[in-house]
């Protein structure tokens, strides 16, 4: 059977990938700013030093501050230029559709940064390892890495949902700097950004309550934002909680139709 398939491919002139490309281990060089033998890829001997980092154990749920009557209105990014025009057009279209925003992709597609850090229903956990902080997110079972081994941003990172995050510890505060977030994603629903979107986060425990984690986010975008947008997200700790699986395609009851409307099955 397999022979027949291969023979068929050959007959069609389809070249099979060379053996060296399939399954072969890659040999990436050390990232810029990290010497060979150092950094996150060489953790052994550096685990004890992690004990000096703050206690972020357990899982963390966003403290829902609510879009409820009487709540202080949330700060909104100040857009400019074509991004403002796109937002105004989106807002008009949404208003004309009973407040239901059209989606251009599946509800099983994650939002990426910065929105992935602001989800009310699904918790987060922070895993420390030498040279890196890994954030596991229950939502869409996403993984985010903040490299703390001194590396620089990639020169031309592939646009992605999580972008390219490098960070450093300033005392007990993790300062994370992110670029390379895809411009197909949004700052918030309907609020676009450019490929030059730049996010800086200062993540630390609340001095007033060690069971509250604070993420002070500052966003800049020379093309889309008229001024930096700052928003603070707070999380409360569930010390012995755990993340649950999130297999969206197994329970996708909200398909998006050709008009961008979310269905309900």
Partner 1 sequence: MIKRLFLLAPLVAAAPALAHHSYAMFDMNKTVVLNAQVTKFKWQNPHAFIEADAAVPGGASEHWAVEMTSPNNLAQEGWRRTSLRPGDKVKIYVHPLRTGARGGSYVGVEWPGGTHLGQTRS
Q: Which residues bind partner 1 (CB under 8 A)?
A: 61, 64-68, 98-101, 103, 107-108, 111, 115, 118-123, 138-139, 188-189, 238, 241, 243-248, 250-251, 253-254, 262, 264-265
Q: Kindly state the smallest distance separating residue 99's Cβ from partner 1, in Å.
A: 5
Residue placing its CB nearer to partner 1 in the complex, 94 or 134: 94
Residue that is written with structure tokens 């030498």 in the block: 130
CB of 67 to partner 1, least distance (A): 6
Q: DSSP string of 162-226?
A: S-EEEEEEETTEEEEEEE-B-TTSEEETTEE--TT-EEEEEEEEETTEEEEEEEEEEEE-TTTBS
The 8-class DSSP code of residue 229 comes to E
Nearest to 128, CA basis, from 109, 146, 108, 104:
146
Under DSSP, the state recorded for 79 is B
Residue at token pair 């947008």:
229
Q: CB of residue 244 vs partner 1: minimum separation in angstroms?
A: 5
In angstroms, rounded to a whole number, what is the distance separating the alpha carbons of residues 142 and 194?
22
Between 65 and 232, whose beta carbon lies closer to partner 1? Answer: 65
Question: Least separation, in Å, of the C-beta of 176 and partner 1?
Answer: 19
Gap between the Cα atoms of 137 and 134, Å rounded: 10
Which one, 154 or 216, has the nearer CB to partner 1?
216
- The CB-of-31 to partner 1 minimum distance in angstroms stands at 32
CB nearer partner 1, residue 179 or residue 243: 243
Q: Between residues 169 and 246, which has the closer beta carbon with respect to partner 1?
A: 246
């Amino acid at each position: 059977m397999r022979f027949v398939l291969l023979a068929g491919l050959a007959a069609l002139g389809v070249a099979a990938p060379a053996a060296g490309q399939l399954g072969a281990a890659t040999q990436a060089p050390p990232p810029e700013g990290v010497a060979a033998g150092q950094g996150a890829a060489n953790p052994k001997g550096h685990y004890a030093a992690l004990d000096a980092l703050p206690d972020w154990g357990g899982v963390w749920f966003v403290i829902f501050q609510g879009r409820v009557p009487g709540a202080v209105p949330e700060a909104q990014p100040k857009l400019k230029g074509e991004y403002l025009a796109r937002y105004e057009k989106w807002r008009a279209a949404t208003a004309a559709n009973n407040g239901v925003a059209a989606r251009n992709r599946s509800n099983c597609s994650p939002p990426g940064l910065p929105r992935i850090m602001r989800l009310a229903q699904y918790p987060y956990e922070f895993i420390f390892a030498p040279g890196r902080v890994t954030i596991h997110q229950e939502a869409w079972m996403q993984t985010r890495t903040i490299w703390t081994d001194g590396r620089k941003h990639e020169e031309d990172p592939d646009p992605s949902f999580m972008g390219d995050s490098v960070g450093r510890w300033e005392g007990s505060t993790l300062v994370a700097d992110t670029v390379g977030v895809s411009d197909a994603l949004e700052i918030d629903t309907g609020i676009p950004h450019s490929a030059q979107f730049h996010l800086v986060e200062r993540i630390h425990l609340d001095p007033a309550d060690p069971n509250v984690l604070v993420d002070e986010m500052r966003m800049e975008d020379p093309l889309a934002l008229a001024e930096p947008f700052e928003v603070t997200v707070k999380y409360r700790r569930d010390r012995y909680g755990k993340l649950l699986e999130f297999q969206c395609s197994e329970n996708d009851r909200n398909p998006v139709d050709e008009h961008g409307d979310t269905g309900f099955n």
